[in-house]
Amino acid sequence: MIATNGARNAVVASLLARNHGSAVCLIAGMEPEQVEAALDRSDVYLDVGWHPGKDRGPREAALRGCVVITGPWGTAGGDDVPIPAQHKLTDLHPSLIEALVDEIRGNRQFHLGLQQSYVSWIIGEKDRFRAEVRAFADKPLVMAGLTIPKEALGLLNAFRTSANQRLEQLVRLNLAARGDFIPNDMTSAARLIMPPVRGASWLLNRCRRLICRGH
């Protein structure tokens, strides 16, 4: 079966179902368990539309054993979907899509092997996400020519501690809810940063007053 992003690929999916005789599952409006079941039944995940950001769909499909096919449009054309060029279609003529699907089905293990580095890259996202947030939280405060008072540093360190605690909480929640961890970048960043910095304007103003008082 071919699984596809129902919001972006409905026309292509319809052509495949009609002309190629492939069973196609449009993933749209499903519960997480239904998405997982559909991907487990599929051997190909097709998402050749415009990718506006680092989408979860291709990553989850790859983790569940699908060979991912995209186009080069949007973020799919860059490092957000690091799959082989032969799996990124630049021409969406139905016959070319059908030919690639047939090739994948005829040599499934070979094509899964070509995307093994993509799967490993996805699995490593949890550790990269943690490291990037910690690097940001621990980045030294540099203010040329200013000596930052201890009280201001204490406030900033409290923020860093809170951010790291929130990170651990976020990771635990995701791991408890699912067997994987695929951070949806903007959403995860918002969930991570907003709770600790609620009242951030007060924190910044307080630091500014303390710094000015020190001079």
Domain boundaries, the chain: 2-122, 125-213
The answer to whether 36 touches 58, Cβ cutoff 8 Å, is no
Percent of the chain predicted with pLDDT > 70: 63
Judge whether residue 199 has pLDDT over 70.
no
Q: Using one digit for the tens of pLDDT, what is the confidence trace for 16-25?
A: 777 777 788 8
Strand order in the sheet with 44-47: 24-27, 2-5, 44-47, 67-70
Top mean pLDDT of 13-22, 63-72, 174-183, 189-198 is at 63-72
Residue 100 makes CB contacts below 8 A (sequence gap 6+) with: 69, 86, 87, 89
Q: Using one digit for the tens of pLDDT, what is the confidence trace for 55-81?
A: 889 999 999 999 999 999 998 888 889
First to last CA, the chain: 69
Averaged pLDDT, 171-199 = 48
Residue 207, pLDDT score:
53
Is 89 strand, coil or helix? coil
Residue 148, pLDDT score:
55
Q: What is the pTM of this model?
A: 0.64
Tallying the residues shown for the chain, one arrives at 215
Whole-angstrom distance, CA of residue 107 vs CA of residue 112 = 9
Residue 145, pLDDT score:
52
Q: What is the CATH number of domain 2-122?
A: 3.40.50.2000
**Positive or negative, the Cα torsion across 108, 79, 8, 94?**
negative
Residue 144, pLDDT score:
46
Whole-angstrom distance, CA of residue 133 vs CA of residue 170 = 12
Residue 14 makes CB contacts below 8 A (sequence gap 6+) with: 24
Judge whether residue 44 has pLDDT over 90.
yes
Q: Using one digit for the tens of pLDDT, what is the confidence trace for 88-128?
A: 999 888 889 999 999 999 999 999 999 999 999 999 988 88
Residue 175 makes CB contacts below 8 A (sequence gap 6+) with: 181
Banded model confidence at residue 201, pLDDT cuts 50, 70, 90: low
Q: For the chain, what is the mean pLDDT?
A: 76
69, β-bridge pairs: 46
Q: Using one digit for the tens of pLDDT, what is the confidence trace for 139-166?
A: 655 444 555 555 665 666 666 666 666 6
Whole-angstrom distance, CA of residue 145 vs CA of residue 84 = 50
